[in-house]
């Protein structure tokens, strides 16, 4: 190559850089996706583990609220462990083991997950939450007897039927104490929102067991308040959810902070409730949770893992560079061959070998075809220069010779000599005019003065112009028009194109022959045909008829065979009008030249 390509612009380098960037982006995207997926999986497992932990605490708190000790909790612990696949261990506050789902001797986790104390933590009211307060399942002395349960159940069913008659649907449910309660779509049903005849006051009246427990807790609170020296009034209210004790007087400010005395009153109520329920619940215990027989997955980016990631990334990049180098080399090699061939001198017309059938192979084929066309055009250019020189040399030689002998006095400048010189000058003028027309058409500067042209008038003018020449050699000239076709064209140039075809037909048609000029409308085109009964054109010569200075009969001179520019001018003029010209011929029968040009509607003022 004559000039070196900068390294940054080399196709090979750009392909390698592109592949490396793609590989790096792919590795980064894969790593990001792996991290995101792993993180999401860990979060989901942690979320599931948290939900399982909450359910374990809720179940064990319920067990403690309904049992006086932990003696039978082993079965519950193992069932929860089997369902959640977690290790569950219960110990006393001083780490004495109560129950464990793991094998004997397995060490406990370093820290307790939670404290199971139904007198201080409520895990029942809101599933999944741990509220401060007493678990509603710790009912203790408020638990109804079987007879009381039956009575309350019967009262609940009666009220449910009353509600139904009033168009209100309620469901009978059983509270932890055994009391039947009515619940609607929005929770417990209050007497204030139902018909008066249903609110008889019997369903929400305390049973003897409940009255006894209320009296006991009221006494405990009163003793505590007396001991603290508090004079706060104590209000006791019974609801379907249990006993409610209050001590605060009615305040004007809704969010006013309690005084020190009121805080002592609240502490007395809480202490009394816990003291009353304490004999009925299991002692507080520490809950330890583990992972069962396995370990929780975790994303470990240790130095060893980092080294693996770096090694894999390096391997991917190395493979990418190697594969890219091989592929790019195969791509660049034919391109370099094309560049080398294109840089050769124009007269060598170098071809490149086609070794593949991909885009590069197609490019090589196109380059070779372009080289062939260039070689053919170069040959045509040389031939044209030779033909032009020959066409101009002969008349100029004749004119020069006659002028020289006239100057020397050998020949007298009579009328015959002047007519001969004039004829030679006309031949020169015709060749020059034809060359000028072709040059203007090639340069795109051929000016057309378009106007609506009737095909019949155009044919009549062409026939009239060539009738004398045809009659002189005994050829019959016929015109034929189907319908009334029109076209938008330059009438002078169209007469020139059709006239060249008729002149060419007259030269190649013997005496008693016929030349037919026809026109008709075909869809959106106006078609002209010039047919003769002449000698015809050989099939191998048909592709050359529109070449410049080409003659079907090489022996014909410019006087009998024309300049060889008539048919090329016909093609250029037809193309300038947006049309096409074709030829069909049969040796010994004749030829047909067809011009197909865009048609136009007839003017309205015609």
pLDDT tens digits along 427-460: 677 777 767 777 777 667 778 889 999 999 999 9
At residue 335, the pLDDT reads 77
Structure tokens belonging to residue 8: 């940054």
Check whether residue 165 and residue 77 sit in a common domain: no
The pLDDT-based confidence of 518 (bands split at 50, 70, 90) is: very high
* Cβ-contact 371, 354 below 8 angstroms: no
Burial of 206 (0-12, 13-18, 19+ CB in 10 A): middle
Tens digits of residue pLDDT in 337-362: 878 887 888 777 788 887 777 667 77
Q: Which of 126-135, 176-185, 197-206 has the lowest mean pLDDT?
A: 197-206
Check whether residue 319 and residue 377 sit in a common domain: no
* Cβ-contact 15, 331 below 8 angstroms: yes
At residue 190, the pLDDT reads 57
Check whether residue 473 and residue 422 sit in a common domain: no
Check whether residue 484 and residue 516 sit in a common domain: yes
CA distance 531 to 518: 8
Q: CA nearest 599: which of 448, 499, 484?
A: 484
The CATH number covering residue 502 comes to: 3.30.565.10
The number of domains in the chain is 4
Which one of 416, 440, 464 terminates a domain?
440
The CATH number covering residue 425 comes to: 1.10.287.130
Q: Is the pLDDT of residue 405 over 90?
A: no
Check whether residue 365 and residue 491 sit in a common domain: no
Alpha helices in 256-302 (DSSP H): 260-277
Q: Which of 203-207, 220-224, 260-264, 570-574 has the lowest mean pLDDT?
A: 260-264
- Assign 516 to helix, strand or coil: strand
* Cβ-contact 577, 458 below 8 angstroms: no
Check whether residue 378 and residue 248 sit in a common domain: no
418 against 548, higher pLDDT: 418
For 540, which DSSP code?
Answer: G
At residue 559, the pLDDT reads 46
The pLDDT-based confidence of 385 (bands split at 50, 70, 90) is: confident
Check whether residue 500 and residue 576 sit in a common domain: yes
**44 located within any domain:** yes
26 against 78, higher pLDDT: 78
Q: Which of 104-118, 126-140, 340-354, 555-569 has the lowest mean pLDDT?
A: 555-569
Tens digits of residue pLDDT in 562-591: 556 778 888 888 998 999 999 999 998 999
Check whether residue 305 and residue 202 sit in a common domain: no
The mean pLDDT of 369-377, rounded to a whole number, is 82
531 against 198, higher pLDDT: 531
pLDDT more than 90, % of the chain: 23
At residue 201, the pLDDT reads 73
pLDDT more than 70, % of the chain: 80
- Which helix or strand (DSSP H or E) is residue 522 part of? strand 514-522
Query: Average per-residue pLDDT in the chain?
Result: 80
**127 located within any domain:** no
Check whether residue 372 and residue 259 sit in a common domain: no
73 against 264, higher pLDDT: 73
Range of the domain at 215: 140-280
CA distance 527 to 486: 10
Cβ neighbours for 381, distance < 8 A, ≥ 6 positions apart: none
Tens digits of residue pLDDT in 469-517: 899 999 999 999 999 999 999 998 898 899 889 988 998 899 999 999 9
**255 located within any domain:** yes
At residue 572, the pLDDT reads 87
**134 located within any domain:** no
Check whether residue 325 and residue 237 sit in a common domain: no
Record the pTM.
0.45
Could you give the count of Cα atoms lying within 13 Å of 168 in the half-sphere of its Cβ? Answer: 19
Cβ neighbours for 66, distance < 8 A, ≥ 6 positions apart: 137, 138, 176, 281
**66 located within any domain:** yes
At residue 557, the pLDDT reads 46
At residue 51, the pLDDT reads 81
**460 located within any domain:** yes
Check whether residue 110 and residue 237 sit in a common domain: no
Structure tokens belonging to residue 75: 């079965």
Which one of 343, 367, 390 terminates a domain?
343
Which one of 417, 440, 463 terminates a domain?
440
The mean pLDDT of 239-266, rounded to a whole number, is 61
**135 located within any domain:** no
Q: Is the pLDDT of residue 78 over 80?
A: yes
Return the biggest CA–CA distance within the chain.
Answer: 168
Check whether residue 314 and residue 365 sit in a common domain: no
Q: Which of 231-235, 243-247, 408-412, 538-542 has the lowest mean pLDDT?
A: 243-247
At residue 556, the pLDDT reads 45
- Assign 407 to helix, strand or coil: helix
For 294, which DSSP code?
Answer: S
Q: Can you say whether the dihedral through the CA atoms of 25, 28, 31, 37 is positive or negative?
A: negative
**507 located within any domain:** yes
At residue 34, the pLDDT reads 73
At residue 305, the pLDDT reads 65
Q: Can you say whether the dihedral through the CA atoms of 450, 453, 457, 460 is positive or negative?
A: positive
What secondary structure does DSSP assign to 32-73, as a single string? Answer: HHHHHHHHHHHHHHHHHHHHHHHHHHHHHHHHHHH-SSSTTH
Q: CA nearest 503: which of 453, 430, 444?
A: 430
Distances (CA, A) of 511 to 463, 530, 551: 17, 17, 21
CA distance 387 to 390: 5
Structure tokens belonging to residue 91: 């110990």
At residue 301, the pLDDT reads 55
């Amino acid at each position: 190559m004559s000039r070196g390509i900068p390294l940054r612009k080399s196709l090979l380098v750009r392909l390698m850089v592109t592949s490396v960037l793609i590989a790096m982006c792919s590795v980064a995207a894969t790593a990001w996706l792996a991290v995101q997926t792993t993180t999401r999986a860990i979060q989901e497992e942690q979320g599931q583990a948290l939900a399982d932990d909450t359910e374990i605490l809720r179940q064990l708190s319920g067990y403690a609220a309904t049992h006086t000790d932990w003696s039978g909790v082993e079965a519950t612990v193992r069932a929860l462990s089997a369902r959640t696949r977690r290790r569950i261990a219960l110990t006393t506050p001083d780490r004495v083991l109560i129950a464990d789902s793991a094998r004997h001797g397995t060490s406990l986790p370093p820290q307790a997950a939670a404290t199971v104390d139904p007198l201080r933590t409520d895990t029942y009211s809101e599933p999944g939450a741990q509220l401060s307060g007493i678990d509603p399942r710790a009912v203790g002395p408020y638990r109804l007897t079987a007879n009381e349960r039956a009575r309350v159940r019967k009262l609940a069913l009666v009220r449910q039927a009353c509600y139904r008659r009033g168009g209100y649907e309620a469901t009978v449910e059983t509270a932890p104490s055994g009391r039947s309660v009515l619940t609607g779509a929005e929770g417990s049903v209050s007497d204030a929102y139902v018909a008066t005849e249903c609110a008889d006051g019997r369903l929400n009246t305390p049973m003897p067991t409940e009255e006894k427990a209320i009296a006991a807790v009221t006494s405990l609170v009163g003793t505590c308040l007396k001991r603290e020296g508090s004079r706060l009034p104590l209000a006791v209210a019974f609801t379907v959810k249990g006993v409610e004790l209050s001590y605060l007087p009615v305040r004007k400010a809704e969010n006013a902070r309690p005084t020190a005395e009121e805080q002592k009153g609240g502490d007395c109520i809480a202490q009394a409730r816990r003291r009353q329920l304490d004999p009925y619940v299991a002692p507080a215990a520490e809950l330890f949770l583990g992972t069962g027989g396995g370990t929780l997955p975790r994303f470990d980016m240790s130095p060893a893992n980092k080294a693996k990631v770096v090694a894999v990334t390096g391997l991917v990049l190395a493979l990418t560079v190697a594969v890219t180098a091989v592929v790019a080399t195969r791509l660049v090699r034919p391109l370099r061959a094309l560049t080398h061939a294109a840089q050769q001198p124009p007269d060598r017309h170098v071809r490149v070998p086609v070794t593949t059938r991909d885009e590069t192979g197609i490019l090589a084929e196109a380059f070779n075809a372009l080289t062939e066309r260039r070689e053919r055009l170069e040959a045509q250019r040389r031939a044209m220069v030779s033909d032009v020189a020959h066409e101009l040399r002969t008349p100029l030689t004749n004119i020069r010779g006659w002028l020289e002998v006239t100057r020397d006095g050998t020949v007298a400048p009579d009328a015959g000599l002047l007519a001969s010189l004039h004829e030679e000058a006309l031949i020169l003028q015709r060749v020059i005019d034809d060359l000028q027309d072709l040059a203007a058409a090639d340069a795109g500067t051929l000016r057309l003065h378009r106007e609506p042209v009737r095909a019949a008038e155009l044919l009549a003018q062409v026939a009239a112009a060539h009738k004398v020449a045809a009659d002189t050699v005994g050829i019959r000239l016929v015109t034929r028009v189907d319908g009334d076709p029109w076209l938008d064209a330059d009438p002078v140039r169209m007469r020139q194109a059709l006239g060249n075809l008729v002149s060419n037909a007259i030269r190649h048609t013997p005496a008693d022959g016929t030349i037919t000029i026809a026109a008709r409308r075909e869809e959106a085109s106006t078609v002209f045909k010039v047919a003769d009964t002449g000698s015809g054109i050989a099939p191998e010569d048909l592709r050359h008829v529109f070449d410049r200075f080409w003659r079907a009969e090489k022996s014909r001179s410019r006087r009998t065979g024309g300049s060889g520019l008539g048919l090329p001018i016909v093609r250029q003029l037809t193309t300038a009008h947006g049309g096409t010209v074709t030829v069909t011929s049969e040796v010994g029968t004749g030829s047909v030249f067809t011009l197909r040009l865009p048609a136009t509607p007839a003017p309205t003022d015609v």
